Amino acid sequence: MYGGYIIEEAGVYDLYANPRHPYTLGLIGSLPQIHEESHKKLFSIEGMPPVLYQKPTACPFAPRCSFVTERCWKENPVLEPVSEGHRVACWVNTSNGSK
């Protein structure tokens, strides 16, 4: 969930193995890897979260998204199936970068 909207919905194993929304990718990227020997800085999602009392007319994650497109600034995507039991609200296919 991001900005009051469900942005990705999947079973836990599928979500961790195949995250598809840029926000989910960022959250998973910020997790420390306890099995790695090198200590590197954790990933951080740039920017600030949205103001929740203002209903967005566009994707609420657009200001912080590295995959943002023109359409993201104009429309808030709805959940669409990407595989069996896995739905994502994003205009970009993050697995291959297509729009």
Work out how many domains the chain is built from and give that number: 1
For residue 70, give the DSSP letter: G
What residue spans of 1-99 are helical by DSSP H? Answer: 12-17, 22-29
Tell how many helices (H) and how many strands (E) occur in the chain. Answer: 2, 3
- The reported pTM is 0.85
Give the CA distances from residue 26 to residues 14, 17, 53, 57, in Å, rounded to whole numbers and listed in that order: 16, 14, 24, 23
Residue 37 forms part of a structural domain: no
The residue range of the domain holding 54 is 8-32+42-88
Residue 22 forms part of a structural domain: yes
Residue 25 has phi, psi (to 5 degrees) of -60, -45
Residue 77 forms part of a structural domain: yes
Nearest to 86, CA basis, from 4, 5, 18, 3: 18
Give the tens place of pLDDT for each residue, 15-73. Answer: 999 999 999 999 998 887 777 776 777 778 888 888 888 888 899 999 999 999 999 99
With a cut of 70, say whether residue 74 has pLDDT above it.
Answer: yes
